[in-house]
Structure 1
Amino acid sequence: MDLPINPPVEPMLAKAVSRLPTDPGTTYEPKWDGFRCIVFRDGDEVELASRGGKTMTRYFPEVVEQALRQLPERCAVDGELIVIRRDGPDGQPRLDFELLAQRIHPAASRVKLLAETTPADFVAFDLLAIDDELLTAQPYPQRRARLERALAGVRPPVHVTQVTTDPETARRWFDVFEGAGLDGLIAKPADLPYEPGKRLMAKVKHARTADVVVAGFRWHKTGPVVGSLLLGLYDDDGVLHHIGVSSSFTAARRRELLDELAPYREVGPDHPWVHGDHERGQRIPGGVSRWTGTKNLEWEPLRPELVAEVGYDAMEGDRLRHTARFVRWRPDRDPRSCGYDQLDRPIRYDVDQVLRGDPAATAEPTPGRA
């Protein structure tokens, strides 16, 4: 491969901000919840590079095929790999990160099957090079214009993300696109060059809190201290479901947590997660994770009597989409009162409208709850 820029390349990143930047000339685009991917094509050769510089080419043969079919013959395009679930309980197409994560599999036969049953789309949002021309030093609006011209003829499953320079439209997108599984917004300054690995963009994500039951923990890989807290919520039938973890603690805090959890480590055989209620579809910790590979998923049960307030950005079905942030203990809360009914559910929204850039995507969506 001989392009003006060649893999490995660390993509340009975004830093989290609490408010939407409104500097003149700022461009806003949806924040896609998928795998960051720079697609390099040089003739018949295609490389899919992940954010960490590792290759994803073998896991997404259908994306390689589309790159050969639809992208310019020599180019480097920054974007996102996503998987759209179309058979959800409400029939609303939306992003599904869990299905995307399952695409990383060591077996070639499984890779081939998943490419057919849960194919990935590619959403392009920046152009780093085309033919023999390197574009990284050009300001973002010029790169965006070149991207639109270079990919003017693409069709699904290849897309060019929509953008706006209107802050009010961006705020509306922030509110309604979450219902399609999107992650928030990206803001790009007008004079922004492309600098690999630098956090020069801004990202605004949804921020919420919930009171959850802490019913287990995992040990940290460095020694006998707490690695992560296992979080749960009760459904309407009184079944406690594992919804995710909270794990970002300092070394000192991990030691303190071990002492705080000690009174709850003596549990009986009736712990709700020890065996699980499979007939009622209970989600419990453990199991094989394709995405985490050889990561130790063993866990220690705790009596489900502790309640913690955690910060989170969004739900993926009945679980947290990302790792939760521990806020504080809530000794005043009854664990049985920690149910799904406290969660803020986004309005349902069709991800296909977002991908198409339909005019309807800037208007209020049809009412309904996910």
Structure 2
Amino acid sequence: MNLPLAPPLEPMLAKSVAALPIAPSMHYEPKWDGYRCIIFRDGDEVELASRGGKTLTRYFPEVIEQAREQLPRRIVVDGELVVIRRQAGRSRLDFDLLGQRIHPAASRVRLLAGQTPASFIAFDLLALGDEGLLDEAFTTRRERLAAATASLVAPMHLTPITTDAATAGRWFDMFEGAGLDGVIAKPAQLRYEPGKRSMFKVKHGRTADVVIAGFRWHKSGPVVGSLLLGLYDDAGVLQHVGVCASFTAARRAELVDELAPLRTTPAEHPWATGEQDSGQRVPGAPSRWSGGKNLEWQPLRPELVAEVAYDAMEGDRFRHTARFLRWRADRAPSSCRYDQLDRPVRFDVERVLAGDPTGLG
């Protein structure tokens, strides 16, 4: 490739803030829940670079094809790879399906490219032709990006944008139901600074009371690494919904003694049967993401309740690792049910991308 910028190139990142930043020069975009991806195209050569600098090219042949068909011949564009799932007349982002696209077998890659094709959503322009644009203001880069991608059609998209904070607030409330992750804020004069947290992001934050039903040992030794969390469904079945971790070294050691009275045998635990047999979500199932990681877990009688903070749900589990807040001795484990969770208003992701006036102001 002979472009002004070459891979690997770290993308510009965002710092978390508690509330939407409001300033006359601020621009707001939906925060897409997918894989960050910088596309480098030089004629027929196309490279998809991940946030960590690794190539994604072999996993998304359909995106390579679309980049050749729709993007300018010499361009470096920052964006997000997503998989859009359509079900019951609506569409939403599906991070689990996106994760399945990273597969070592070429035959599987080709199959999934047809069954669950990815879309690319562009949101910043880093180079065009022989011109590098990192030092240009964001407003200039956005104008150039809009012009360069004016003819894009699905599955290639240009992200919506607004300068109206009230509209951005509606996006934050509404678009979660389409699988979006929050809102990104960018100052008008922002240069593109690879690897630096120069943008702002506002994400959803919620709490839930959960059953502590097990734990895993920490890799450093015989101390607690993470707590396994459960919620009861409508049928009264305890489902594994995720983990909470990030304890200090001292706290990990204390938890060993605190949890000792609750330790039990796997055969006596509600998660004794696997999800293959009963449809019950249980911990410990291997996946290609776990690699050689030890997934063994220690069962606890489901008698302890904790309040945890989480950002979003992915199906029937927490999307990311939850954060421990406090013990809830006043709560009965049986009261820790799915119906306590705040479910976002359902919204169609394809309406977001199409600039639906009911959501985009």
Flag whether TM exceeds 0.5 (same fold).
yes
* Equivalent pairs, count: 361
263-272 vs 193-202, which moves further: 263-272
Q: Distance in 2 between matches of 1:267 and 1:27?
A: 55
3-state DSSP of counterpart to 2:344: coil
Partner of 2:40: 40
Partner of 1:124: 122
3-state DSSP of counterpart to 1:83: strand
Q: CA deviation at 1:261?
A: 1.6
Q: Distance in 1 between matches of 2:266 and 2:164?
A: 58
Q: CA deviation at 1:277?
A: 6.0
Partner of 2:191: 193
Structural mapping, 1:49-68, within 5 Å? 49-68=49-68
Structural mapping, 1:120-199, within 5 Å? 120-199=118-197
Q: CA deviation at 1:133?
A: 0.3
* 1:78 and 1:125 in contact (8 A); partners too: yes
Structural mapping, 1:261-272, within 5 Å? 261-267=259-265, 269-272=267-270
102-111 vs 285-294, which moves further: 285-294
User: Is 1:257 matched up with 2:255?
Assistant: yes
Q: Distance in 2 between matches of 1:69 and 1:289?
A: 35
Q: CA deviation at 1:174?
A: 0.5
Partner of 1:103: 101
Which of the residues 180, 197, 201 maps onto 1:203? 201
Q: CA deviation at 1:136?
A: 0.5
* 1:104 and 1:291 in contact (8 A); partners too: no
Superposed CA offset, 1:152-175 (max 9, x none): 111100000000000000000100
Q: Distance in 2 between matches of 1:168 and 1:190?
A: 18
* 2:266 and 2:272 in contact (8 A); partners too: no
Return closer, same or farther for 1:59/1:268 CA change in 2, 3 Å cut-off.
Answer: closer
Partner of 1:362: 360
Q: CA deviation at 1:268?
A: 5.9
What is the letter of the counterpart of residue 34 of structure 1? G
Partner of 2:85: 85
Q: Distance in 1 between matches of 2:26 and 2:219?
A: 42
* 2:170 and 2:359 in contact (8 A); partners too: no
Superposed CA offset, 1:56-88 (max 9, x none): 11111111111111111111100000011113x
Segments of structure 2 that go 5 or more residues without pairing to the other structure are none
Q: CA deviation at 1:267?
A: 3.4
Which of the residues 314, 325, 334 maps onto 1:327? 325
Superposed CA offset, 1:83-129 (max 9, x none): 11113xx4421111111111111111111111111111000000000
Q: Distance in 1 between matches of 2:106 and 2:337?
A: 41
What is the letter of the counterpart of residue 82 of structure 2? I
Superposed CA offset, 1:268-318 (max 9, x none): 623111214656521111222223333322212111111110001111111
* 2:266 and 2:299 in contact (8 A); partners too: no
Partner of 1:16: 16
68-77 vs 158-167, which moves further: 68-77
User: Is 1:25 matched up with 2:41?
Assistant: no
TM-score, normalised relative to structure 2: 0.97
261-270 vs 224-233, which moves further: 261-270
What is the letter of the counterpart of residue 253 of structure 1? R
* 1:225 and 1:258 in contact (8 A); partners too: yes
Q: Distance in 2 between matches of 1:222 and 1:268?
A: 24
Q: Distance in 2 between matches of 1:118 and 1:292?
A: 22
* 1:4 and 1:129 in contact (8 A); partners too: yes
* 2:185 and 2:199 in contact (8 A); partners too: yes
Partner of 2:242: 244
Q: Distance in 1 between matches of 2:294 and 2:148?
A: 45
Q: Distance in 2 between matches of 1:185 and 1:11?
A: 17
Partner of 1:213: 211
Q: CA deviation at 1:252?
A: 2.1
Identity fraction in percent: 70
